[in-house]
Chain A
Amino acid sequence: MSFWIASSPHNHIQGATPKIMRLVILATLPAIIAQCYFFGWGNLIQIAIAVSVALLSEMVFLAIRDKNIKAQITDGSAILTGLLLGLSVPSMAPWWITVIGSIFAICVVKQLYGGLGFNLFNPAMAAYVLLLVSFPLQMTSWQPANELLTQSLSFLDHLWLVFTGFTGDGYSAEQIRMNIDGITMATPLDTLKTDLTLGLTVFESFEKPVFGDFIGLGWEWVNVGFLLGGLFLIYKKAIDWVIPASFLFGLFFFSFMSYSISPDSSASTLFHWLSGGTMLAAFFILTDPVSAATSRKGRIFFALMAALIVFLIRKFGGYPDAIAFSVLLCNMSVPLIDQYTRPRTYGHQRGE
């Protein structure tokens, strides 16, 4: 008989990655339901396209690389990437947008860097930036909330719209986005940005129907859905609470500062929190265990920096929302952040 001395860690949790991935996928449900309720079926179609293309390209690439396909497909990371991309593209975007995005996310951003665990950038956000930079027209064709539309859209209408560019009645995406006066309706963030350049105050801009009673018809509930999902993930300990907390605090800090300096030309913190992709970024994108910073101090800095970039681009930049850009910029600086925020190893003094 021989003693077998195992080295630490002694307490194993089997299959951690698939479990976390499944939890995260589950946690997007409230937001998906909210999107469906307020914006119709479009996003379900996009998610279906994105997930299936992501899975397919992952399988093809793994086959080329001679990897164990079954083990890496069932961990759910490709599904999650597809899901996040499908959630973030506009629901009326043509099908090839989502296909190009999913292929780029999996093949270039994830697999070419070495697969899960080696990707420098968040695959879904890198694909989103690729699409936004390449196809600005299609990537801004956001659908207004259902109750603002002049004609109601059925599931089949959405399907035709995504695959042929026209609904069953022959309306194009542009026509659907028009209100009764023939003016194209934009997202709350975009509307506010345009109105501020036109000389309106925030208060005047908020009178428009796009904002609804509160701060963005439909958008607020989608963000609340992501918030609920994120709180569930924190409760289940699937993600670290530090990143979302510091990201939201950062956004609060910067927007509050600007609001107190010039309330007429700056939106409130709540508007920043509950519009665009803020909550998606806070709980689902920035918390990506691969591309985020590792130490606690580093994570605080990482999330604050993301908040600063989001705020700066939303307020002064050319794009209405900036989640994807800021996530990529922060991903890029993660090696540097990690270098300067190394935790002290036990038994060593600082600066040794």
Chain B
Amino acid sequence: MTERNEYKELTWQGLWKNNPGLVQLLGLCPLLAVTTTLTNALGLGVATLLVLVCSNATVSLIRHLVPKEVRIPIFVLIIAAFVTCVQLIMNAYTFGLYQSLGIFLPLIVTNCAIIGRAEAYASKNPIKQASFDGFMMGLGFMLVLAALGAIREILGQGTLFDGADLLLGDWASVLRIEVFHFDSKFLLAILPPGAFIAMGFLIAAKNAIDAKLEKKQAKQTETKTIERVRVNFDA
């Protein structure tokens, strides 16, 4: 496989076919707990993305030095180090978001999507591909987080980008969009069961799109290749 094809494949795998949120269903705990607003979801998504890229790069860099028997604790140590960095950075620069993400920021250490990538891809591939894989997987995870956050925020509060200034600085408070206004909030969308239901719908939508694509492809190949069938009655 040429290098370019490999990058294309990694992008396709990370964003769609093997998406950590929708297909592998990894890291469900932060995915469901934090996505009450789009801002929270983006904050956690960016943090996970950073950790994933850095840990994949580091794991790939030291892949020849690490003995196979103790690789898991070493991976966890590397991930924990990067999570601590990200946590300190967020504590310093986006304190409001740091507070609203709470325990789920340090819990990125236990996000199986990250250790899964370190084990399955980064520990076997060169640094360039490994960082690219981390980036794409992180991006896929972030997109799912953002989609879920947006759905839940619109249904629950009727807004988008509520509290964006926590993530991006004071200028971002103009980003807040009031999609519609209700007298009473739709609390279920904000509560955990709403997250599960919305996630179910997202996965169902992805599967429906896949089924449709497959059908289309099957039709195309059917019309393209006309084979002559020979029936031999003697055989």
Name A's B-contacting residues (CB within 8 A): 108, 130, 133-138
Contacts and interface: CB of A to CB of B under 8 A. Distances in A.
Nearest to A131: B188
A133 B193 contact: yes
Contacts of A108: 197
10 contacts: A108-B197, A130-B188, A133-B187, A133-B188, A134-B185, A134-B187, A134-B188, A135-B184, A135-B186, A135-B187
Pick the 9 closest A-B CB pairs, nearest first: A134-B188, A134-B187, A134-B186, A133-B188, A135-B184, A130-B188, A133-B187, A137-B184, A133-B191
A138 B189 CA distance: 17
A307 to B, nearest CB: 25
Contacts of B189: 134
A108 B193 CA distance: 14
A137 B186 CA distance: 11
Contacts of A138: 184
A133 B197 CA distance: 14
A173 to B, nearest CB: 13
A108 B185 CA distance: 20
A136 B185 CA distance: 10
How many B residues are at the interface, by size bracket? under 10
Given A108-B197, A133-B188, A136-B187, 6 more contacts: A130-B188, A134-B186, A134-B187, A134-B189, A135-B187, A138-B184
A133 B184 CA distance: 12
A136 B186 CA distance: 10
A135 B183 CA distance: 11
A134 B184 CA distance: 9
Contacts of A134: 185-189
Contacts of B184: 135, 137-138
Interface string B175-195: 000000000111111010100
A134 B187 CA distance: 4
A130 B189 CA distance: 10
Interface string B72-113: 000000000000000000000000000000000000000000
A204 to B, nearest CB: 34
A138 B197 CA distance: 23
Nearest to B184: A135
Contacts of B186: 134-135
A137 B185 CA distance: 10
Nearest to A130: B188
B194 to A, nearest CB: 8
Most buried by A among B184, B191, B197: B184
A200 B191 CA distance: 34
A135 B184 CA distance: 7
A108 B189 CA distance: 15
Contacts of A135: 184, 186-187
A130 B186 CA distance: 10
A135 B193 CA distance: 14
Contacts of A130: 188
Among A133, A134, A135, the one with the most B-chain Cβ atoms within 10 Å of its Cβ is: A134
A351 to B, nearest CB: 38
A138 B183 CA distance: 11
Contacts of B188: 130, 133-134
A77 B197 CA distance: 24
A136 B197 CA distance: 20
Contacts of B185: 134
A147 B188 CA distance: 35
A132 to B, nearest CB: 10
Of B188, B193, B197, which is in contact with the most chain A CB atoms at under 10 Å from its CB?
A: B188
Interface in B30-70: none
A304 to B, nearest CB: 26
Nearest to B189: A134
A164 to B, nearest CB: 13
Nearest to B186: A134
Interface string B184-220: 1111110101000100000000000000000000000
A130 B185 CA distance: 13
A192 B181 CA distance: 36
Contacts of B191: 133
Interface in B143-197: 184-189, 191, 193, 197
Nearest to B155: A134
Nearest to B193: A133
A92 to B, nearest CB: 15
B36 to A, nearest CB: 14
B187 to A, nearest CB: 5
B181 to A, nearest CB: 14
A97 to B, nearest CB: 10
A135 B188 CA distance: 8
A112 to B, nearest CB: 8
Nearest to A138: B184
A162 to B, nearest CB: 15
A134 B186 CA distance: 5
A134 B189 CA distance: 8
A108 B198 CA distance: 12
A134 B185 CA distance: 7
A133 B194 CA distance: 10
A26 B184 CA distance: 36
A133 B186 CA distance: 9
B206 to A, nearest CB: 16
A191 B68 CA distance: 66
